[in-house]
Structure 1
Amino acid sequence: MISGHGLHTGAPSWVHLHPAEGGVRFRRGRQEIPASLEFVADTKRSTTLACGGYQVLTVEHLLAALHVRGWWRGLVIEVSADEVPILDGSAAPWLGLIDALGAPPPPPQGFVVSAPFTLQQGRTRCRVLPGEQRLCAEIDFDHPAIGRQRWCGPAEAFETLLPARTFGFLSELEGLRGAGLATAASLENAIVYGSDGPLTPLRVADEPVRHKALDALGDFYLLGRPLLGGLEVVRGSHGAHVHFARTMVREAMLLSLLPAAAGESGELP
């Protein structure tokens, strides 16, 4: 078991992991909520799953850890409250709980990317390309202590993303709390940026973009199977990730039939 408080609700909660037949799903009381795109109910500042009148907020960090450990089926995630605990703001604390279960079941057949597919909305871009399993994430913030950052790595490097903590800005905190968000945010569970920089030391210099890449791992886990190809997310968000993943599933036939568009390099830098 692991316990703590929800980042947004502030409520205490605990999580138990139970190996079980079937897919990966959350359980609230007697209600089960599959870890699947079709059950995403909200993406404001976190990813929320819901079914049958129950919801579970902020699932992305736990799902990112499951992604890294290759646990794609055979698991019930029992949660005592409406939100998964934020812990230290990263996904690293979940590894001990997952590893205590032993080896995961064999994964399902992967989602093979056979042709480039891109979706752009304003300055946000998501795309997949054929090739090795690889993730690139890019962010661009006006804050001088963050600016433009980019992280790229193969599947073998995904675990290095897990210690990266969620981050936010002191100037936005009052507004978020007024909207019922980030009510339990603190220096113990988030990187908080003041006007001059982070109020506590970073774990690595590019921790913000690493956390955004971690969020993408968690959100794209909701495909229910490994994504076998390259994924790039530029100025991503939970909403953009989920929208792109849903669109990609709808266009799955086109992914294997459309030729590469002119100018596509076929690989991520």
Structure 2
Amino acid sequence: MSITNLELLNYLDGMLRVNEISDYCPNGLQVEGTSKIKKIVTGVTASQALVDAAIEAQADALIVHHGYFWKGESQVITGMKRRRLSALLSNDINLYAYHLPLDVHPEFGNNRQLASLLNIQNVSAVSGVKPVGVVMQGNLGKETDGASLQSQLQSILGRAVLLEGPETKPISTLAWCTGGGQGFIEQAVELGVDAFITGEVSEQTVHTAREMGITFIAAGHHATERYGVKSLGEHIAQHFNVSVEFVDIDNPA
């Protein structure tokens, strides 16, 4: 089976509500390739390694969370950017990228997928943070503590995660934002939750966690954002009956 690149674009743009969400990059089709798509590769970031993997897989399309053309970056096509784009264009591969629209999606989004991995219950989007869904909150079915939650995440994600703040304080409620969401720790404190999980950590985040008494976990930007695009790809495979392969290019950040 195959679909057209515009058919896939229209479906994804509509489902992910691209026109409703302001972002730091263009969402949707970033690089146009062949009009007929039979094989799709999905991954977190459109790095050269992932582009090469898509070429090796003879993919017609690459769908990622982190694409190109970010606000504030240089607009010239040289060096690394030229090599990546040249590889896509010379192999007629379509590149689709969905950043915030994929973070916040209530079913396939990175935040919703992390909640599923941790079996978080009563999941809801924090309405005061825009776009709605970029920070979520919920509760654990069974009370735990920081050290146990750290261990659980390390087992699920297959990597070491950073724990700051109380290690033995009971945790039943938590908020989370996958990727680079450490700046939302104060909103998490205001929510009154016991713990906040994100991907990255900044120097000031540690002091906030210690002084405000909230358990903070930085579990890796890449590691916490593998599951949205993977879930989206699985849905596309089922919906369109096309071949989809998720490729994980390891990244310790």
TM range (shorter): under 0.3
Higher relative contact order (CA 8 A, sep 6+): 1
Q: Between Structure 1 and Structure 2, whose CA radius of gyration is higher? A: 2
Write 1 or 2 for the structure with the bigger share of strand: 1
